[in-house]
Structures are given as structure tokens and as C-alpha cells.
A and B are shown apart, each in its own frame.
Chain A
Amino acid sequence: AQSVAQPEDQVNVAEGNPLTVKCTYSVSGNPYLFWYVQYPNRGLQFLLKYITGDNLVKGSYGFEAEFNKSQTSFHLKKPSALVSDSALYFCAVRRVEGTGRRALTFGSGTRLQVQP
């Protein structure tokens, strides 16, 4: 079985400061990793994914994430936060092979609050 942990329910950061939203995963074999963002009363929007290759993945709206296999982590980062980045962020994992590989397993979500 696979699982995702997002250890922080909420992250507060001032506008213009760098932000990090943490994610660790547990999966048998290799993982595919995803980040999604959910704004109020909206669906999940895809931000970025790690499939293979470069451990640093760049995505939408200036976000990036670093895959660290030894630490089983996939933290989301942005060099300079905007007030409009305030939303709920979800990390998700999918197994590369084996049963259960079709399902996305999500973390519990981290609420990002960017103060002006």
C-alpha cells in the first residue's frame, strides 16, 4: 500500500518570502509524485509531477518541487510567495508498477496562508 504524509496542517508565510510545503511518501517500488492546489469551491488544479530524471521539477505559477529518494520526500517550493498562492495544497503518489498503481493516493492537505 502507498501513503502520503503532509506533516503541516497550515503554513504561514509573508508575501515575498520563500515558501515550502512538505510531503513525504511511502510506496513499494518507484513512485510517481504529484502536487495539486485547491482554491475555495474549486476543483484540484495540477501544479507539477515527478516521473523520472531531474530531481528538481518545475511547474505552474512559479512552483517547483524536489524529489529526494533517500528521504522519500517531495517538498513543494516557491522562491517568492504571493497572496494569491493562499490555498489548499495536496501531494499525491502513484505506484509505478504492481496492483493499485492506477489510483492516486493523496495526503491530507496543507493550507497555505500568505500574509500581505
Chain B
Amino acid sequence: DSGVTQTPKHLITATGQRVTLRCSPRSGDLSVYWYQQSLDQGLQFLIQYYNGEERAKGNILERFSAQQFPDLHSELNLSSLELGDSALYFCASSSRDRVFDTQYFGPGTRLTVL
């Protein structure tokens, strides 16, 4: 167990809908990262927050957004969902914003869009 928690574990929804995925980092970690794992794209970095501020953006669609709250938990919002958004979404956390910091991953949220 990495200490990173994600809810819900599974989410099934319809095209056009909006969902929110939640992540709680390890105790004391200030950085949160979001990744998407799909069969065709593999594991892709979406976005990073550090102590409430956005620090880096990857291949995140405009329909997706995220934020990190004062208690350091983070939420990933996915809207106008399409079939292709079906994937496993991982949150990871690290202690600081240093390049050599290890990222510890949560168990993921499996999103199925029907």
C-alpha cells in the first residue's frame, strides 16, 4: 500500500456526462500528479500540482481539469465524456517538487464510458 488513496475505484457513466475523480496524497506529500493509462496510449502524464498550484501540464484535454485543495487532496474533473476517455486514471504523489523525488501511485480509478 503506497499511502495514496483514490475514489471511486470504478465509475461507469454515459457519453456527454461529467465525473470527478478524487485523490488523497501520502501524508506530508505536497505534489500530486495525474496519469491516464489506456490500451492504445499507454501511461500518459496529464497534470501536476504542487501545494495548490499547477506546476506542469502534459497531454491533458481541454475537457479535463484538475485542482488541488488546501488540505492537499486533488480532484480531476472530466467533462463531455467520450468513449475514448475510458481508461484507468492514476494519481501519484511525491514529497516535494524535485525531479529526483519518487512518485508513489494510488490504486487508480477505472472509468468506463458507455
Which A residues have a C-beta under 8 Å from some C-beta of B?
Answer: 32, 34, 36, 42-46, 49, 51, 90, 94-97, 100-109
Contact = CB atoms under 8 A, between A and B. Distances in A.
Contacts of B92: 44
Given A44-B105, A46-B102, 9 more contacts: A34-B103, A43-B2, A43-B105, A46-B104, A49-B102, A95-B99, A100-B56, A102-B55, A102-B56
26 contacts: A34-B102, A36-B105, A42-B107, A43-B2, A43-B90, A43-B105, A43-B106, A44-B90, A44-B92, A44-B105, A46-B2, A49-B102, A51-B100, A90-B43, A95-B99, A100-B56, A102-B48, A102-B56, A103-B48, A103-B56, A103-B58, A104-B33, A104-B45, A104-B103, A106-B43, A108-B42
B25 interface: no
Interface of B: 2, 4, 33, 35, 42-45, 48, 55-56, 58, 90, 92, 97, 99-100, 102-108
Contacts of A49: 100, 102
A33 to B, nearest CB: 11
A40 to B, nearest CB: 12
Contacts of A96: 99
Contacts of B100: 32, 49, 51
Contacts, number: 55
* Interface of B (DSSP majority class): strand
A51 B100 CA distance: 6
Contact of B42 (A46, A95, A106): A106
A24 to B, nearest CB: 16
A109 B4 CA distance: 22
Contacts of A108: 42
Nearest to A30: B99
Contacts of A32: 99-100
Nearest to B43: A106
